[in-house]
Structure 1
Amino acid sequence: MDRLDRIRIDQEKLKNKYKLLMEQAYNLRQTDSAQSDISEYMAIKLLNKLNRLKYLAREHQKTLV
């Protein structure tokens, strides 16, 4: 498995976890706003990781071309 495949696998895992956290934050918004904020914060942190992986994948593809 090369580096680009590993990055894509990690991206998929993080995307799924991000979606779950955002859904949880949305569902908790009416009942427990503090927990909703925590879930949204964790989702934002995952989004930052996703953006870094996207950058790495793009840089890796440029070096291959």
Structure 2
Amino acid sequence: MAPFEGIDVGLDRRSPVVWRLYEAHGPYPYTGVITSVAYEPGPRPPDVPQNLLPMLRETGLRYE
């Protein structure tokens, strides 16, 4: 959900890791020490425009 709400490190008020704890205690910050953060994007989802474009072109050519 990062494109819609930003990227959180140490506290996430909208999407807790463990709902049971969130429901019992509400949001609370990580109390350890964060020395670094690395983001590794995974594969693109099937419905991103770059993946849909070839299919849309093929469909358009069929009806041309």
> Between Structure 1 and Structure 2, which shows a larger proportion of helix residues?
1
TM over 0.5: no
Interval containing the TM-score (normalised by the shorter chain): 0.3 to 0.5
TM-score, normalised to structure 1's length? 0.34
The structure showing larger relative contact order (alpha-carbon pairs under 8 Å, at least 6 residues apart) is 1
TM-score, normalised to structure 2's length? 0.35
